Amino acid sequence: MTRIVKKDDSSEVRRVTWVGLGWNAALTVLKFLAGFFGGSQALVADAIHSASDFVTDIAVIVGSHFWNLPPDAEHPYGHRRFETLVTLGIGLSVAAVGVGLGYKAVQTLLQGEGAHPETVVAVMALASIVIKEILFRYTRAEGRKIRSQALEANAWHHRSDAFSSIPVLIAVVISLVFPQLWFADAVGALIVAFFVLRSAYEIASPGARQLVDQGASEQVAKKLLEIALGHSKVMSVHGFRTRYVGSDLHVDLHIVVDAQMSLLEAHDVAEEVEQLLIQAGENVVDALVHVDPYDPARAGKSEEKE
């Protein structure tokens, strides 16, 4: 079995997350003040949404201290599932925000009342949208660079916060131009709530699939299988399996080689296949290759290459 020691990316995760946390703190205070003095309940609620980002930021910062710990007796596959748990937590928190936005919008429509905020609210909402979109792109780019699910999930949380500021901006503009359209804020909030819930699904679904041990996608599995079969001394492959532990991919497979091959040579072939899989660019960190001698009586029953 070949296992690579994955680079500890926890310091990079924390650095990026601290940047987001600092901006979330500033936006929370500024939104609350603008909403309070500008007469906008929507912006005050949006400030509370920004404050909720602290929870996910702290979860990522704390979690990053654990998921890069090396394997131990209790966690022989490492601790990357902590990253999965953090990702699911972020997804659930974003979903809660979406439900809250939708519930508040429905209440406003049922009550038949709407706020008439001042121009400063629109300025603050626009600034929030721009800043959070920049944070989303920055955090997502860093998360993809180091293959961190938690950072990518937190990036989508930034975007959900940007979405939540959109109805505030739309409501203020419409109320300034058409004061009689009191319901514009609530309708915009319902639309945004849908997009926030969709973001929550996109965040949480990969982690949920990992918790039930779903393997690599068909495309990735096919690529890895072809790599193993491409070795000149591999006659066939069977028992091919994959599983994710956090963002790390583990691969198990059986290769069939010439029965006349020496034990040492067969071992070398297995090592070569393992290295090819790890170098495939699909975040494979652990490859377990079992060697079987070619047996004509069993050929075709379980093997996958003629």
3-state class of 156 per DSSP? Answer: helix
202 and 289 share one domain:
no
Greater model confidence, 79 or 241? 241
Q: Does residue 306 sit within a domain?
A: no
pLDDT at 271: 94
- Give the pLDDT band (50/70/90) at residue 305: very low
Of 157, 192, 211, at which residue does a domain stop? Answer: 211
203 and 240 share one domain:
no
Q: Does residue 54 sit within a domain?
A: yes
Q: How far apart are CA 207 and CA 200, in angstroms?
A: 12
11 and 141 share one domain:
yes
Residue 98, sorted as left (phi over 0), alpha (psi -120 to 50) or beta, turns out to be: alpha
In this prediction, residues 284-291 reach a mean pLDDT of 90
pLDDT at 220: 92
244 and 99 share one domain:
no
Residues of the domain holding 53: 2-211
146 and 229 share one domain:
no
Q: Provide the 10 A C-beta neighbour count for residue 218.
A: 8
User: pLDDT tens digit string along 171-186?
Assistant: 778 877 887 777 776 7
Place of tokens 């603008």: 34
pLDDT at 127: 93
- Give the pLDDT band (50/70/90) at residue 301: very low
Of 154, 189, 211, at which residue does a domain stop? Answer: 211
Q: Does residue 305 sit within a domain?
A: no
Q: Does residue 35 sit within a domain?
A: yes
Give the CATH number of the domain where residue 255 resides: 3.30.70.1350
User: pLDDT tens digit string along 28-55?
Assistant: 899 889 888 887 777 877 777 777 676 6
Residue 246 has pLDDT above 80, yes or no: no
227 and 182 share one domain:
no
What distance lies between CA 257 and its chain's CA centroid?
39
Residue 302 has pLDDT above 50, yes or no: no
Residue 263 has pLDDT above 80, yes or no: yes
Q: Does residue 154 sit within a domain?
A: yes
25 and 121 share one domain:
yes
Find all residues with CB under 8 Å of 150, minimum gap 6, and list them: 13, 60, 63, 64, 67, 83, 86, 87, 90, 143
User: pLDDT tens digit string along 207-245?
Assistant: 787 777 778 888 999 999 999 999 999 999 999 999 887
14 and 109 share one domain:
yes
Residue 274 has pLDDT above 80, yes or no: yes
pLDDT at 8: 55
* Pairing of β 284-293 and β 248-257: parallel
Give the CATH number of the domain where residue 127 resides: 1.20.1510.10
Average pLDDT, the chain: 81
Q: Does residue 225 sit within a domain?
A: yes
Of 211, 240, 273, at which residue does a domain stop? Answer: 211
Q: Does residue 87 sit within a domain?
A: yes
242 and 139 share one domain:
no
User: pLDDT tens digit string along 133-154?
Assistant: 999 999 999 888 877 777 887 8
User: In the numeric block, which tokens belong to residue 75?
Assistant: 């966690």
Predicted TM-score of the model (pTM): 0.63
108 and 71 share one domain:
yes
* DSSP track, 221-264: HHHHHHHHHTSTT--EEEEEEEEEETTEEEEEEEEEE-TTS-HH
164 and 21 share one domain:
yes
Could you tell me what percent of the chain has a pLDDT over 90?
25
- Structural domains counted in the chain: 2
81 and 184 share one domain:
yes
Q: Does residue 298 sit within a domain?
A: no
Place of tokens 């994959």: 242
pLDDT at 223: 93
